[in-house]
Structure 1
Amino acid sequence: MANSPQAKKRARQTERRTEVNKARRSRIRTFLRNVEEAITSGDSSAAKDALKSAQPELMRGVSKGVMHKNTAARKMSRLSSRVKALG
């Protein structure tokens, strides 16, 4: 356990940041799940709309440090190719 005041403060900050990051990660996953569901339903326009709303959310996760930029780029690439294949 943290003993010094600085270490105690860092522990408190870590708890807060963990909660924020958890919420962000969950939000990103929700947007990605919406795209997946639109793809499996076969609705091309819904998939495009879902992908368009998921893109900024993924990039926001990158800028906030929740996700690595290459991971987000890979996810975007794979999803967009699947949406494109729908027609």
Structure 2
Amino acid sequence: MANTPQARKRIRRNDRRAEINGARISRIRSFVKKVEVALDAGDKDAAQVALKAAQPEMARGVARGVLHKNTVARKMSRLSKRVAAL
């Protein structure tokens, strides 16, 4: 258990940040899922629109520090390749 005031504050801060970061990651996953649903349905137009909406959200996740840049680059690349293949 934290004994110093600094450690107690750090625990409170970490809890708040974890909640915020979790919401950000969840939001990104929702955008990616819209792309995947359109891909599974075979709807190229919807997939392209969903991908265009998902890309800035994923980039924002990198800028906010919740996702690693290479992870997002890999996911964007794979999604783009799947959309182009339709």
* 1:2 matched to 2:2: yes
> Following the alignment from structure 1 to structure 2, what is the Cα–Cα distance between the partners of residues 3 and 61?
34
Shift of 1:35: 0.3
Give the match for residue 30 of structure 1.
Answer: 30
- TM-score, structure 2 normalization: 0.98
| TM-score normalised to structure 1 length | 0.97
Which letter maps to 2:51? L
Residue 2 of structure 1: SS of its match in structure 2? coil
Matches within 5 A, 1:3-82: 3-82=3-82
Gaps of 5+ in 1: none
Alpha-carbon distance in structure 1 between the residues aligned to 2:50 and 2:3: 48
- Give the gaps of 5 or more residues in structure 2: none
Which ranges of 4 or more aligned residues in structure 1 deviate by more than 6 Å? none
Question: 2:31 aligns to what SS in structure 1?
Answer: helix
